[in-house]
Each structure stands twice: as C-alpha cells, then as structure tokens.
C-alpha cells in the first residue's frame, strides 16, 4: 500500500488589492491510490484512497480604513469513491461562513461575529461514522437530545460566535464572548475540530501598567472565567484563572498563572459511554527569563497541576538558553521534562453479559523533549533556519479497573479496581485476562497498554528572496519514529533506539512569485 497520497496538481493564489479586498484560493487534486493484494498467489489491486478534490476560498474586504472588515469563506471536499469498502468516507463535505469586525474610538472598542455552517454527504456507514466519532458521540446512552440515525445519508450543522471588547493602549481591557457549535457541525474532512455540541461563554479582564514604577518596567494582570454547556442544557465545566506578566527595569521577565476547574461533567471521557463526573483541578505555572537583548539569555519554568480526590498529579519543568554570538546568528536549546500520573486513563471498551464495560487504568507517564533552533542571516535576502526536536515518552499502566457508577458522590465509588483472582496476566499473549464473576472462565481480556514512543523531527530551510516579495525555499525535512511496549523510561536506551531507526527524508523546493494588481 502506498505510504502517502500523491498530489496530482495544486494551485494557490493570494493577495490584496489596492481597494482593500483580500483574496485567498487553494485548490488541489489527490490521486486514486491502490494497494496490491496477494491472496494465495492471486494478485489484484484495490483502491484504498479515492480520487479527491479539495477547495478553500477566502474573501475579506476592508472598510473605513480598516476599522470595519467583512469576510467570507467556503470549503469543499469531493471524493470519487469506486471501491464499496471505502463507503466509510464522506463522498462530499462543504463548510463555510461569514465574519465581521467593527472598531471605533481609534480602534479601542470592537465588536466581532462569526457564523458558520457545514454539510456532509455519503453512504449510511459514512454518516454513522460521523455521528459516532469523537467529535460528537451521538451513541451516548444518557444523551437525551441526540441519537444515532442509521438511515442518514446527510448531516448538517451550524455555529456562531459574538465578541465585545476593549483593547488599544488603555490600562483596563476586556473581552466577553459567546460561542456555540451545534451537535451536527463537522469540519474534519478539510479542517480540524475536536468537539461540537457546546455553548461557551467567557470573559477576561486585564490591567496594564506600561510606565515604569518601583522595580518594574511594565506589569500586566489578567482575570478570566469561562463556562460551557451542551445543547441539552447541562453545565459541562466552570473555570476561572488569573495570570500575570511583569518586566523588571533590568529587562528580566516573570510570568505565571493560577487556575481552577471546578468539578465538571465530561461527555467524552468514556469514548461514547455515559457522561462522567470529573473531579476539580488546580493548575499553576511560573516562568522567569533574563534580558533577551543580551548575547546570552536564558529562562526556566515549572508547571504543577493536581486534581481533587488525588485523582491525578502532573509536573513539568523546562528551561532554555539562547546564544547570539553575532547579530546574524542565534542558537537556542530548550529541554522540557514532564510527568503525569492519573488514576483513570481510558484503555478500551468491552462487553459482558450484554452490558458495556469501560476499562481504565492508572497511568504513570514521563516525557522528555529537546528543542534546538538555529537562525543564520547571511544577507537580508538569504537566510538559513534549522529546527530539530528529539521527543521521548513512556507510559506504564497499573491498577486496571472498570467504571461502575459515573455519577457517584465519591470519586472512588465511580469505579472498581480488579483485584485477586479477577485479573491475571497472560505473558505470552501480552493480555490481562478478566474473570469478573470469579467463576473460573475468562470473561474478556485487556491488551497490555504500556508504551514507549520516540520521535525525531527536523527541518532545514534555506530562504532566498530573489526579488522583492518573491522567494524560493529549499527544504530538507527528516523524521524518525520508534515504538516499544515495555513502558519503562530510559533516556539513554530510548535515544539509542531512536537514532538507530532508518530516517525518512523529504527534499522539496517551493517557489513564490509576488506581483501587483
């Protein structure tokens, strides 16, 4: 099977006219890719990716010297599905919307709004997949306002948002907003949307002191709150936080925040199961950095988060050093290490005696990353940029359990941990075998979820502006990925395994030509 889909052709056009009309168009056509299948010596080819056309169009017009903007956007995906085995894909998907923003009093005050829509079409199986995807989970047994309709061949949705705010150079600034997405809204054929079915309201207020005082060069304090409901009217979450950012007279910086999420109701925690009450959580972080204008500067910071009922605990520590041996060259190295421990991490869903079993476990995860950046300006028209990041993460699962009462008053009463003869480990098959009723018969099994994930990503970009506004890019991109299943974090061994992997290299040239209308 091909590793990637071939692009048969693509076109991009963008620019802005003298009268303030911005235009952006992206059009591409990807190939019908086929896999070669060997069945007892008989070979055939089957389509595994249909011929597909993607289109994105964007218009925006400025009025009153930019104080008012009005825009619109439309996207389309059309697939030519010839293999019935690919009927799980939508045959077409359309989305679009309009947006506006109006400012007054020297752009201190503003009001903005967005309206969106979507429509997807396809076989009944494709629409079942849309309805049961992680963006909506219509199959939830306790959802009263949505359900899976297996006869659908089309699904539509809508969204909107409205904002009112005060910005500019004023000391007191704020924004209040309302955003909603209907349960049927779907952008994922051409965009990215994690969830639908929500109504969100939030307000933030900030106070800026831009003039030096005491030991400070400037100071900023921000307060926020936000709430989320679903279209059934249930309150899902209630959050608030405060954060600050200060620069001292020696140009050092200090910033941090403190936030609280109250007990919340999650409709996706059980991956299609009933809603689950999650304990409240407190998050805080702080970061301090030296004078960035010096040839050598650095920063260091830490994050700490913990949930009520000792349900989870997270730590993260980071640092960075930036070196500028000369004005044309800068080098930065940023290590980051984090740990996360949670008593409830989703593993899988099983069935026992006609009832669903939502299997979770405690996870202990460790993650380490190093980010390296190099920027070198040879001339104002010729630059070299490098980015590289080795990333290592491991997770160990213990204390496997099943959800019993998603709305129990006490957190520990919402699940049952398998103990004694209820659970045994089949080492040759890598399975945890569950005998839920202790009758000596295996009721269901759980795959060992321990993991090690290692990845290296790097990009080397040479940019040459061969004429004003027109550029050519020479790019070398390299990737390495390695996985394992022992769940043990061992930096030296993990790095060795990562760089023993055969790399995947991509070389490309991008040409951009600017012209005036």
Please compute Rg for the chain using Cα positions: 27
> In angstroms, how far is the first alpha carbon of the chain from the final one?
45
The mean pLDDT values, 10 residues at a time, for the chain of 517 residues are 91 90 96 94 92 98 92 97 93 97 93 98 96 96 95 97 92 96 96 95 96 95 97 96 96 97 96 96 97 95 97 97 95 97 96 94 97 96 96 96 96 95 92 92 93 96 94 96 91 89 93 83
Question: E strands within 427-469?
Answer: 431-434, 444-447, 451-467
Among residues 131, 446, 411, 137, which one has the least CA distance to residue 274? 137
For residue 436, what are its two tokens? Answer: 């839920």
What pLDDT does 393 receive?
Answer: 96
Among residues 210, 195, 204, 248, which one has the least CA distance to residue 226? 204
What pLDDT does 10 receive?
Answer: 94
Among residues 370, 304, 302, which one has the least CA distance to residue 336? 370
What pLDDT does 4 receive?
Answer: 87
- Tokens 């890719």 belong to 33
Among residues 439, 294, 254, which one has the least CA distance to residue 352? 439
Pairing of strands 235-248, 216-229: antiparallel
259: which residues sit within 8 A by CB, 6+ positions away? 239, 240, 241, 242, 282, 283, 284
What pLDDT does 517 receive?
Answer: 67
Among residues 52, 56, 54, which one has the least CA distance to residue 14? 56
Three-class SS state of 291:
coil
Element (H, E) at 82: none
Domain ranges of the chain: 1-196, 217-327, 350-517
Residue 22: strand pairing partners: 16, 60
Residue 143 and residue 232 in contact, taking contact as beta carbons nearer than 8 Å: yes
């Amino acid at each position: 099977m091909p590793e990637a889909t071939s692009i048969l052709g693509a076109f991009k056009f963008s620019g802005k006219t003298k009268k303030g009309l911005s235009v952006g168009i992206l059009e591409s056509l990807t190939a019908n890719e086929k896999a070669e299948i060997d069945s007892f010596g008989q070979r055939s080819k089957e389509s595994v990716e249909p011929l597909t056309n993607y289109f994105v169009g964007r218009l925006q017009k400025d009025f009153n010297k930019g104080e008012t903007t009005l825009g619109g956007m439309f996207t389309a995906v059309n697939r030519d599905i010839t293999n019935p085995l690919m009927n799980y894909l939508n045959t077409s998907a359309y989305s679009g919307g309009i947006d506006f923003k109006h400012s007054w009093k020297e752009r201190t005050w503003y009001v903005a709004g967005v309206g969106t829509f979507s429509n997807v079409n396809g076989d009944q199986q494709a629409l079942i997949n849309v309805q049961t995807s992680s963006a909506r989970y219509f199959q939830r047994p306790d959802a009263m306002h949505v359900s899976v309709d297996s006869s659908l061949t089309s699904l539509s949705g809508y969204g909107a948002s409205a904002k009112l705010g005060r910005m500019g150079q004023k000391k007191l600034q704020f924004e209040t907003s309302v955003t909603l997405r209907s349960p049927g809204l779907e952008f994922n054929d051409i965009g990215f949307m994690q969830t639908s079915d929500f109504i969100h309201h939030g307000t933030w207020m900030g106070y800026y002191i831009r003039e030096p005082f005491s030991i400070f060069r400037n100071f900023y304090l921000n307060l926020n709150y936000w709430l989320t409901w679903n279209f059934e009217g249930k309150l899902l979450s209630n959050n608030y936080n405060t954060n600050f950012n200060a620069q001292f007279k020696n140009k050092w910086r200090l910033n941090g925040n403190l936030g609280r999420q109250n007990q919340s109701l999650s409709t996706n925690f059980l991956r299609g199961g009933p809603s689950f009450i999650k304990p409240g959580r407190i998050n805080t972080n702080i970061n301090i950095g030296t004078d960035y204008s010096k040839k050598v500067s650095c920063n260091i910071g830490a994050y700490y988060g913990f949930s009520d009922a000792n349900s989870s605990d997270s730590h993260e520590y980071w640092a960075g050093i930036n070196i500028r041996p000369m004005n044309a060259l800068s080098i930065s190295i940023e290590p980051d290490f984090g740990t996360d421990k949670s008593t409830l991490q989703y593993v899988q869903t099983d069935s026992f005696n006609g009832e669903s079993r939502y299997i979770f476990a405690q996870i202990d995860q460790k993650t380490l990353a190093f980010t390296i950046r190099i920027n070198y300006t040879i001339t104002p028209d010729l630059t070299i940029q490098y980015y590289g990041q080795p990333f290592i993460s491991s997770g160990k699962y213990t204390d496997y359990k099943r959800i019993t009462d998603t709305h129990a008053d006490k957190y520990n009463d919402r699940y049952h941990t398998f103990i004694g003869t209820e659970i045994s480990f089949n080492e040759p098959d890598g399975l945890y075998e569950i005998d839920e009723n202790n009758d000596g018969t295996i009721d269901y099994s759980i795959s060992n979820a321990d993991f090690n994930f290692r990845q290296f990503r790097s990009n080397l970009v040479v940019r040459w502006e061969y004429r004003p506004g027109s550029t050519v890019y020479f790019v070398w991109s390299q990737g390495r990925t390695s996985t394992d299943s022992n769940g043990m974090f061992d930096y030296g061994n993990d790095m060795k395994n990562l760089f023993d992997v055969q790399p995947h290299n991509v070389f490309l040239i991008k040409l951009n030509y600017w012209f005036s209308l």
